[in-house]
Amino acid sequence: MENRSVPPGPYRATRLWNEVTTSFRAGMPLRKHRQHFKKYGNCFTAGEAVDWLYDLLRNNSNFGPEVTRQQTIQLLRKFLKNHVIEDIKGKWGSENLDDNSQLFRFPTNSPLKALPRRHPELRKSSIENFSRDRDTIFKLRNLSRRTPKKHGLHSSQENTEKMNCEIINEDQENSVDNRKISQEDVEEVWRYIILTYLQTILGVSSLDEVINPKQVIPQYVMYNMTNTSKHGIVILQDKSDDLPHWVLSAMKCLANWPRNNDLNNPTYVGFERDVFKTIADYFLHLQEPLLTFEYYELFVNILGLLHPHLERVAIDALQLCCLLLPPPNRRKLQLLMRMISRMSQNVDMPRLHDTMGTRSLMIHTFSRCVLCCAEEVDLDELLAARLVSFLMDHHQEILQVPTYLQSEVEKHLEYLKRGHIKNPGEELIAPLPTYSYCKQISAREFDEQKVSTSQAAISELLENIIKNKSLPLKEKKKKLKQFQKAYPLIYQKRFPTTESEAALFGDRPTIKQPILILRKPKFRSLRY
Please give the full DSSP string across 105-170, using - where no structure is assigned: E--S--PPPPPPPPPGGG-S-HHHHS-S-GGGT--GGGSPPP---TT----HHHHSPPP----S-G
Q: Are 75 and 54 in contact (CB under 8 A)?
A: no
Give the C-alpha separation, 511 to 67, whole Å. Answer: 63
Give the C-alpha separation, 130 to 147, whole Å. Answer: 18
Residues 6+ apart with CB under 8 A from 359: 344, 392
Tell me the three-class secondary structure of 400-432, residue by residue: CCCHHHHHHHHHHHHHHHHCCCCCCCCCCCCCC
**pLDDT band per the 50, 70, 90 thresholds, residue 258:** confident
Residue 207 pLDDT > 90, yes or no? Answer: no
**Quick one: pLDDT at residue 135?**
40
Overall size of the chain counted in residues: 528
**Quick one: pLDDT at residue 194?**
93
For residue range 27-69, list pLDDT tens digits in order.
Answer: 999 999 988 888 999 999 999 999 999 999 998 888 888 888 9
End-to-end CA distance of the chain: 99
Kind of pairing between the strands at 38-45 and 86-87? unpaired
Give the C-alpha separation, 23 to 53, whole Å. Answer: 9
Give the C-alpha separation, 161 to 149, whole Å. Answer: 12
For residue range 487-516, list pLDDT tens digits in order.
Answer: 888 888 888 887 777 777 765 545 555 555
Give the C-alpha separation, 123 to 121, whole Å. Answer: 6
Continuous segment of H or E residues that includes residue 43: strand 38-45
**pLDDT band per the 50, 70, 90 thresholds, residue 87:** very high
Residue 136 pLDDT > 60, yes or no? Answer: no
Residue 150 pLDDT > 70, yes or no? Answer: no
For residue range 299-328, list pLDDT tens digits in order.
Answer: 998 888 887 778 889 999 999 999 999 999
Q: Are 1 and 56 in contact (CB under 8 A)?
A: yes
Over range 224-243, report the average pLDDT.
Answer: 93
- Give the CA count within 13 Å in the CB-facing half-sphere of 125: 17
Could you tell me what percent of the chain has a pLDDT over 70? Answer: 74
Taking alpha carbons only, the member of 132, 122, 88 closest to residue 107 is: 88
Q: Are 45 and 33 in contact (CB under 8 A)?
A: yes
Cα separation values, 372 from 158, 213, 306, 338, 522, Å = 37, 21, 18, 21, 99
Residue 2 pLDDT > 70, yes or no? Answer: no
Q: Are 371 and 388 in contact (CB under 8 A)?
A: yes
Higher pLDDT, 158 or 278: 278
Ranked by mean pLDDT, the top range of 92-101, 201-210, 327-336, 434-443 is: 327-336
**Quick one: pLDDT at residue 442?**
65
Over range 136-151, report the average pLDDT.
Answer: 36
**pLDDT band per the 50, 70, 90 thresholds, residue 120:** very low
Over range 224-238, report the average pLDDT.
Answer: 93
Cα separation values, 112 from 3, 79, 285, 523, Å = 21, 11, 34, 99
Long-range interactions of 264-272: CB distance < 8 A, separation 24+: 272/349, 272/350, 272/352
Give the C-alpha separation, 406 to 402, whole Å. Answer: 8
**Quick one: pLDDT at residue 243?**
96
Q: Are 477 and 504 in contact (CB under 8 A)?
A: no
Mean pLDDT of the chain: 78
Kind of pairing between the strands at 103-105 and 38-45? antiparallel
The alpha carbon torsion through 306, 307, 310, 314 (nearest 10 deg) reads 10
Taking alpha carbons only, the member of 330, 304, 323 closest to residue 404 is: 323
Residue 166 pLDDT > 80, yes or no? Answer: no
**pLDDT band per the 50, 70, 90 thresholds, residue 178:** low
Taking alpha carbons only, the member of 465, 444, 446 closest to residue 454 is: 446
Three-state DSSP at 228 gives strand
**Quick one: pLDDT at residue 128?**
45
Give the C-alpha separation, 196 to 207, whole Å. Answer: 9
Range in 12-21, 217-226, 241-250 with the lowest mean pLDDT:
12-21
Could you tell me what percent of the chain has a pLDDT over 90? Answer: 38
Kind of pairing between the strands at 31-35 and 103-105? unpaired
Give the C-alpha separation, 505 to 476, whole Å. Answer: 10
Give the C-alpha separation, 407 to 189, whole Å. Answer: 12
User: Which domains are seen in the chain, by residue range?
Assistant: 12-105 (1.10.10.10), 121-228+410-439 (no CATH), 236-400 (1.10.555.10), 465-508 (no CATH)
For residue range 371-403, list pLDDT tens digits in order.
Answer: 999 887 788 889 999 999 999 999 999 999 988
The per-residue b/e assignment along 495-520, b for 16 or more CB within 10 angstroms, e otherwise, is: beeeeeeeeeeeeeeeeeeeeeeeee
Residues 6+ apart with CB under 8 A from 116: 11, 14
Give the C-alpha separation, 371 to 392, whole Å. Answer: 14
Taking alpha carbons only, the member of 309, 323, 300, 281 closest to residue 385 is: 300
